[in-house]
Chains A and B, each alone.
Chain A
Amino acid sequence: MTEQYQIITLSTEERDRLQRVYTDLLSLAGCEVPAVRSAARAALAQIAQALNGQGLAFDLYSQDLDETPTPY
């Protein structure tokens, strides 16, 4: 059967989990173990976009992950 247009929404529980995993990944993004830090940051980018795509949150966070010099 051909898939037709459906407006599928997150359940309250799914929404809460999505927001919670974002918070967890943010805290792991500063982990000192390189492999864990990298994995957390890669996942964070995807989850941040999932939140944006669902209209739940919009965050410009990368500058807060590192102590980096100003751009100019």
Chain B
Amino acid sequence: MYNRPRGYWNPTTETMPRDDLRQWQWQKLQAILRHVYAGSPFYRRRMDESGCRPEDIHSLDEYCRRFPLLTREDITAAEGEAPPFGSLAAISPDLAMRYHQTSGSTGQPPVRTFDTARDWAWAADMWAIGLYGMGIRPKDRAAVAFGYGLFIGFWGLHYALEKIGCTTIATGSFDSEKRIQLLIDQGITVLACTPTYALRLALTAQQMGVDLRRDTQVRTVVTSGEPRPEATKLAIAEAFDAFVGDTAGMTEAATIFMFECPEEPGGAHIIETDYIEEVLDPETHEPVGYGERGVRVMTSLGREGICMLRYWTNDLVVKLPFSDCTCGRTWDLYQGGIQGRHDDMRKIRGVWFVPSMVEDVVRAFPAIDEYQCELTTIDALDTLVLTIEPRPDLSPADCESLRMQVALAAKRTLSVTPRVELANPGQLPRFEMKARRFRDARPVAAGEPA
């Protein structure tokens, strides 16, 4: 039995009393407000217009009540004034030593960001907080299964692993079979990849005749990049016999803002020393309480170049108090991590639906290799069509039985009766990052986000 180490990267600030934590946030926020007002034409303009100059904001509460929300469209417009960074940057891009941009998977222009040496040291340290907190130590040997392109993905994780002192292997050019072989040959103990890719590796291993539980030493799988429902976590944990630690970050932040500790309280800790995280009602923009779902609004207290102040992320989250976890951190939690995207929410025949709910249903069936989900109009009715690709070794009768079981489970979970269809082996697309398994194919978008 593997005894996972427990510990804190920064013991003092990870366990500081909540009042001290808020004071520390406020101290940093004041410095950032002064910094962006002096250096960013974009922020100076909106702070002047809204009466939120540094001297006008007297507390964290006042900041959260009055400072204007920042949207993705605001960033695009600010950067569009003089690409690549426009009026948003708070210091000269000449000081940058890294450049990243969003993946562009939404079809919008990418958000472009840079990092100074200082910013990048901070970004890697946010990852180090999470990785150390998961029990990763200098003796670990890690494989990073990621493409290493412009998308920020696991870049920060790679640097954090090196900072902790782990042997870190970049597998950007590897295919899945080569990665499986590396896990075995190098005695890899930590694997970092998207949840989708972890499942794909498990499938590849099965096809190669490799038992990941027996033939590898992987004890930690660090996932990021996509919402990861509980059923997916369990499927990955089962395949590798490993702790599956969820994280979430974004290019706009340069790094992660939450991570799951080994006590597995059903959520991920928010790195509150370095972020002010609000959860707002999508309609009223008023704060919601613990246990209520809302949209995550992020203020980063880290970067000096590209600063995010009250950024409307569109991530759907439910905040829980830190006391729900036994690890001793005083940082609140997001229940189940990121639960989906507000702009992906749809109403089907009067019932709200989030695509990640389908994943939770599908991943409970290990016999399903891949799936796609489409919202379409059939006989003038909004209809959810769920296409599943069973494992190739299933008989036609087993496939049909699986189809019926999935339909029942989906109806029970989603409160919507989907049409479940079968795909042939290998028919559906595979993903490594930013899996897109949902499509709204209705001629008129009747279910716009609330």
- A residues in contact (CB < 8 Å) with B: 2-10, 41-42, 44-46, 48-49, 52-55, 58, 60-63, 65-66, 68-72
CB pair B11 A6 closer than 8 Å: yes
Chain A residues with CB below 8 A from B31, complex form:
58, 60
Q: A-side binding surface: helix, strand, loop or mixed?
A: loop
Chain B residues with CB below 8 A from A61, complex form:
118, 304
Complex Cα–Cα for A70 and B129 (A)? 33
- Is B87 engaged at the interface, CB distance under 8 Å to the other chain? yes
Complex Cα–Cα for A54 and B24 (A)? 11
**B28: shortest Cβ distance to chain A, in Å?**
5
- Is B125 engaged at the interface, CB distance under 8 Å to the other chain? yes
- Knowing A71-B91, A72-B89, the reply to whether A55 touches B16 (Cβ < 8 A) is yes
Complex Cα–Cα for A42 and B86 (A)? 27
In the complex, the chain B residue whose C-beta lies closest to that of A52 is: B122
- Knowing A2-B4, A9-B11, A54-B10, the reply to whether A62 touches B95 (Cβ < 8 A) is yes
**B219: shortest Cβ distance to chain A, in Å?**
13
CB pair A62 B12 closer than 8 Å: no
Of B35-43, B168-176, B385-393, B438-446, the one with at least 4 CB within 8 A of chain A: B35-43
Partner of A62, one of B7, B16, B41, B304: B304
Chain A residues with CB below 8 A from B24, complex form:
55
Partner of A72, one of B7, B87, B328: B87
**B346: shortest Cβ distance to chain A, in Å?**
39
**B128: shortest Cβ distance to chain A, in Å?**
9
**A37: shortest Cβ distance to chain B, in Å?**
12
What are the interface flags for B253-276 relative to A under an 8 Å C-beta threshold, 1 for contact and 0 otherwise? 000000000000000000001100
- Knowing A9-B12, A49-B125, the reply to whether A58 touches B117 (Cβ < 8 A) is no
Chain B residues with CB below 8 A from A58, complex form:
27-28, 31, 301
Q: Which of B58-116 contact A (CB under 8 A)?
A: 81-82, 85-87, 89-95, 116
CB pair B116 A4 closer than 8 Å: no
CB pair B118 A48 closer than 8 Å: yes
- Knowing A55-B273, A69-B94, the reply to whether A45 touches B121 (Cβ < 8 A) is yes
